[in-house]
Chain A
Amino acid sequence: SAVISQKPSRDICQRGTSLTIQCQVDSQVTMMFWYRQQPGQSLTLIATANQGSEATYESGFVIDKFPISRPNLTFSTLTVSNMSPEDSSIYLCSVVPANTGELFFGEGSRLTVL
C-alpha cells in the first residue's frame, strides 16, 4: 500500500472563499484521483490528477470550481473555489501505487462551509 497524507484534515470555511487541500504520498504512484463524499453518501469521482498536465474531470465537475495540480508523481492539490454550503463534504485523495493495481484512500479532508 502507500501512506497518504492529506492536509487539512478538517476546516470550517466561509461562503465565497476558496480552500486548497494537499495530498502527499510516500511512494511513487501510477495514478492519483480526487473523490468527494457528501454527508452520509457514497464516493463520487471528481477528477483524475495528471502529472504535469490538466486534470481529467468527470461529468458534473469543472476546472473553474475544482482546480487540481499534480506537479510530480507523489503530490497533488485540490482547490474548492467560491465555496457554498453545498460544498460541505469529505474530499478524499486516492492513489494506485506502482505494481499494485489497487486503489487506496487518504483519511480525507472534512470541509464545512457556513
Chain B
Amino acid sequence: GENVEQHPSTLSVQEGDSAVIKCTYSDSASNYFPWYKQELGKGPQLIIDIRSNVGEKKDQRIAVTLNKTAKHFSLHITETQPEDSAVYFCAASENTDKLIFGTGTRLQVFP
C-alpha cells in the first residue's frame, strides 16, 4: 500500500521568509496530492492540491510542485506571516478517497 513520508517535522522561520515542506510517496499509482493546514483545535483545511498531469500549481503565496519520476512533492509558502503558523499535512492517493497522510509539519512563523 501507499506510504507517505514528510519532512521536516518542525520548521521555524522568520516572518517574510519562505518555508518548504517535502513529502515522498511509494505507490506509483498515486495521482492526487493535496495539502492540508490544521490550526489548533480545528479540523484540517484543504489549502492546495495537485494532480499528476501537472508539475506545479500556485495560489497566491502557496505553491506545490510534483516530481512523479522521483515520487516527491513539496509545498512552498513565500512571504510567511504569523497566521501561517499551523500543522501542515501532505497526502497521496490514487483517487480522492483513501488518502494516506504524511506525519505532519509544525510550522512556526516568528514576527
Q: Verify if B96 is at the interface (C-beta below 8 Å from A).
A: yes
Residues of B within 8 Å of A105, CB to CB, are 36, 43-46
Known pairs A42-B103, A42-B104, A92-B44; A102 contacts B34 (CB<8 A): yes
In the complex, what distance in Å separates the CA atom of A1 from the CA atom of B43? 14
In the complex, what distance in Å separates the CA atom of A45 from the CA atom of B93? 12
For B43, B99, B102, the residue with the greatest tally of chain A CB atoms inside 10 Å of its CB is: B43
User: Looking at chain A, what size class is its interface with the partner chain?
Assistant: 20 to 34
In the complex, what distance in Å separates the CA atom of A60 from the CA atom of B13? 38
Q: Verify if B89 is at the interface (C-beta below 8 Å from A).
A: yes
Across chains A and B, the number of contacting residue pairs, with CB separation under 8 Å, is 48
- On A, residues with C-beta under 8 Å from B are 1, 4, 31, 33, 41-45, 48, 58, 92, 96, 101-108
A102:B101 contact, CB within 8 angstroms? no
A42:B34 contact, CB within 8 angstroms? no
- Interface residues as binary, B59-103 with A (CB distance below 8 Å gives 1, 0 otherwise): 000000000000000000000000000000100000011110111
In the complex, what distance in Å separates the CA atom of A1 from the CA atom of B49? 14
Smallest CB–CB gap between A38 and chain B, Å? 12
Residues of A within 8 Å of B32, CB to CB, are 101
* Between-chain CB contacts (< 8 Å), 24 pairs: A31-B97, A33-B97, A42-B89, A42-B101, A42-B103, A44-B101, A45-B99, A48-B97, A48-B98, A92-B43, A96-B97, A102-B49, A102-B96, A103-B34, A103-B46, A103-B97, A104-B46, A105-B36, A105-B44, A105-B45, A105-B46, A106-B43, A108-B42, A108-B43
Residues of A within 8 Å of B98, CB to CB, are 45, 48, 58
A103:B43 contact, CB within 8 angstroms? no
Known pairs A42-B102, A42-B103; A103 contacts B96 (CB<8 A): yes
In the complex, what distance in Å separates the CA atom of A92 from the CA atom of B104? 16
- Interface residues as binary, B19-62 with A (CB distance below 8 Å gives 1, 0 otherwise): 00000000000001010100000111110010000000000000
Smallest CB–CB gap between A97 and chain B, Å? 10
In the complex, what distance in Å separates the CA atom of A58 from the CA atom of B46? 23
